[in-house]
């Protein structure tokens, strides 16, 4: 499993930042610290176990994990439907249930868009309302929605997991200097699942390249494709079910 990077951020994460209709004041992007598509806070930890211990998992009630959400009114109905479909895909195969936010709920996800805001999320549950950024231009796609939701559930990128050196080679000399932190290995709890090139959480071969050359190579097969999938893999689903101790049997993942 894949969890947390570490860096300070000065952006507040409080419920009163959001209005009832899901709109919000503009996010101060200059003071928001991003590692790729991961927003980080000054309480960030570097591996899965402290993340779990400090309560970044969403609480379970009975058989299900209810995650309150709201969607900004900035999105068109078609875009809202894509976001809803992304959430519903978790309902089909896991015990995660996304439920519309009530006024008395302080911990929830706010899907929003801001010009030049990009696609990003925090890792795991944050105290108070938290953002998932899906810029309308380029981010509102099914796989991207799933990817950012997985971050919010507590997962990080596949290529930073603790055993990645057995499977991939990170070519740091080809990576943009400011983005090299995105590729640092994390000491993770992988939930007894294999390294997965088909994970929706895997970077692409040329992501953050400074010179047009690959930033990641598969060790076993130089022609291995990764980083361009359309949906969660079976391993992505298994990890959610294991992390959240879902008792529901996994059904075949279909669209």
Answer whether residue 25 is part of any domain: yes
**Do 45 and 144 lie in a common domain?**
yes
Q: Which of 3-12, 60-69, 181-190 has the highest mean pLDDT?
A: 60-69
Residues 193 and 135 in one domain: no
**44 and 142 in one domain?**
yes
For residue 157, say whether it is annotated as part of any ligand binding site. Answer: yes
Domain count, the chain: 2
- The residue from 17, 74, 135, 148 that is catalytic is 148
Tell me, what DSSP letter sits at residue 94? S
pLDDT digits (tens, 9 = 90+) for 146-167: 999 999 999 989 999 999 999 9
Where b means 16+ CB within 10 Å and e means fewer, 99-121 reads eebeeeeebbbbbbbbeebbbbb
- Measured distance CA(41)–CA(5) in Å, rounded: 10
Name residue 70's beta-bridge partners. 110
Residue 67 placed within a domain: yes
* Residue 54 pLDDT exceeds 80: no
Q: CB neighbours (10 Å) of residue 22?
A: 18
Per-residue pLDDT reduced to its tens digit, 101-143: 999 999 999 999 999 889 999 989 988 889 999 999 999 999 9
Expressed as residue numbers, the domain containing 108 is 15-153
- Output DSSP code: residue 87: H
- The answer to the question of whether 156 is labelled as a binding residue is no
- CA–CA separation, 204 and 227 (whole Å): 4
141 is in an annotated binding site: no
Is residue 245 part of the annotated active site? The answer reads no
The CATH number given to whatever domain includes residue 52 is 3.40.390.10
**Are 200 and 109 contained in the same domain?**
no
Tell me the C-alpha to C-alpha distance, in Å, between residue 255 and each of 90, 142, 145, 204, 205: 12, 11, 15, 23, 26
């Amino acid at each position: 499993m894949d969890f947390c990077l570490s860096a300070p951020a000065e952006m507040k994460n409080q419920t009163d930042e959001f209005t009832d209709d899901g709109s919000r004041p503009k996010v101060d992007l200059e003071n928001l610290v991003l590692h790729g598509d991961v927003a980080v806070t000054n309480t960030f930890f570097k591996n899965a176990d402290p993340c779990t211990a400090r309560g970044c998992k969403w609480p379970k009630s009975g058989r299900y994990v209810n995650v309150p959400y709201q969607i900004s009114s900035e999105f068109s109905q078609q875009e809202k439907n894509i976001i809803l479909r992304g959430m519903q895909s978790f309902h089909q195969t896991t015990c995660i249930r996304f439920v519309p936010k009530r006024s008395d709920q302080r911990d929830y996800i706010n899907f929003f868009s801001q010009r030049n805001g990009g696609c990003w999320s925090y890792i795991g549950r944050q105290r108070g309302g938290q953002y998932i950024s899906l810029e309308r231009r380029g981010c509102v796609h099914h796989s991207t929605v799933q990817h950012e939701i997985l971050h919010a559930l507590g997962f990080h990128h596949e290529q930073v997991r603790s055993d990645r050196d057995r499977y991939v080679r990170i070519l740091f000399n080809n990576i943009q200097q400011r983005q090299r932190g995105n590729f640092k290995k994390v000491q993770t709890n992988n939930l007894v699942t294999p390294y997965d090139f088909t994970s929706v959480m895997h970077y692409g071969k040329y992501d953050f390249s400074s010179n047009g050359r690959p930033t990641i190579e598969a060790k076993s097969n130089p022609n291995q494709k990764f980083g361009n999938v359309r949906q969660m893999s079976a391993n992505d689903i298994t990890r959610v079910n294991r992390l959240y101790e879902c008792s529901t049997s996994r059904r075949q993942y279909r669209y």
